[in-house]
Homo-oligomer: A and B are copies of this chain.
Amino acid sequence: MTLAEIASLVGGTLTGDPAHSVTGAEALLDASASDISFLADPRYVDQLAGTQAAAVLVGTDHPAPGPGDGPALLRVTDPSTAMTQAAAALASTARPPAVGVHPNAVVDPSATVAADVSVGPFCVVGPEAVLHAGVILHAGVIVGEGAQVGAGSELHPRVVLYPFVRIGEQCVLEAGVVLGSRGFGYDATPEGWQPVPQSGIVELGDRVDIGANCAVDCARIGATRMGDGVKLDNLVHVAHNVQIGDHSLVLGQVGIAGSAHLGKWVIVAGQVGINGHRTLGDGVQVGGGSRVFDDIPAGSEVFGVPAHEKKTAIRNLRVAPRLHEMRKHIRDLETRLAELEEQSR
């Protein structure tokens, strides 16, 4: 695309050669001379000097460049949104999957499959499973007996739904997701660990997105549940009977132990661990790498090990690298104090 075409697409004003053409979109530091890039966050303004991009989307208030140096500029109201548009226009787009059941899929005759569903090669759809209108199963998806997939949901390659799992509408499950594996419950006996029966299921609301290779266990009783609009990043572990409220966001590699309850609009940053049977109220935000050992009241922002009030936690984090130094100070104080005590006797 020429810069003129991109300017027209994003509704911007170009300073530079309108006939110059670009083939890709990249971040400032990664861009080559055939790429367009963008500057949305003023903190990264220094990267502008170092970029090799042919043109950079900037805000309307961006200062005029010096004569002849730097990339072409394309002024827009919102550089981030404009970049998304330009990148989408420049990117290849995969063709939509073919409607119908691939001849190399195995669909049980007792399954209910809506007319416009797409079932890819090597998919397995079990007895009495239900695929509602517009469902897309990419290659190698396995839908267990009696499982239900709501209208418009898309299951990427190799997703596994254990029997009786229920998925709402417009959900997106990335490759390798497992929903409904056995919950991890055992009773100790002298002969070894005896499995506690896990007779529950997994139930997702509408517009739930789940990242690659996540594992969500079925409930011991009832359902492990996620409300509408819940989004999970990659490699998240959700144990049996966890409940996640509407519009909560759970980032990469978080682990949520059994029967924990997350409210609505909760945000849990990457690699956090949440203990079993804990409750996180609505709107709670947990910083990356925290360990939640206790209940967290609604609206709190917490961080650290153990998770505690965020501002305090950040202060504590800054002090942590001085722990050894602190101990030395305590010892010095001890020595000096002992001397004074000696004198005052």
User: Chain A residues in contact with chain B, CB under 8 A?
Assistant: 24-27, 29-31, 35, 83-84, 87-88, 90-92, 94-95, 102, 104, 106, 120-122, 124, 127, 138-140, 142, 144-146, 156-158, 160, 162-164, 172, 174-176, 178, 181-182, 184, 186, 191-193, 195-197, 199-201, 207, 209, 211-215, 217, 220-223, 225, 228-229, 231, 233-235, 237, 239, 241, 243, 246-247, 249, 251-253, 255, 257, 259, 261, 270-271, 273, 275, 288-289, 291, 293, 304-306, 308-309, 312-313, 315-324, 326-327, 329-330, 333-334, 336-337, 340-341, 343-344
Contact = CB atoms under 8 A, between A and B. Distances in A.
A337 B340 CA distance: 9
Nearest to A139: B124
B320 A312 contact: no
B237 A209 contact: no
A92 B174 CA distance: 27
Contacts of A321: 304, 306, 308-309, 312-313, 316
Contacts of A312: 321, 324
B91 A200 contact: yes
Given A320-B306, A337-B340, A122 B124 contact: yes
Number of copies of this kind of chain in the complex: 3
Contacts of A182: 172, 174, 209, 211
Most chain B CB atoms below 10 A, which of A139, A162, A246, A344: A139
B306 A163 contact: no
A304 B320 contact: yes
Given A31-B222, A160-B156, A320-B304, A192 B228 contact: yes
Nearest to A127: B95
A226 to B, nearest CB: 13
A320 B318 contact: no
Given A92-B146, A191-B229, A237-B270, 5 more contacts: A91-B201, A94-B145, A121-B124, A181-B234, A182-B209
A184 B139 CA distance: 22
Given A192-B207, A217-B212, A251-B184, A164 B273 contact: no
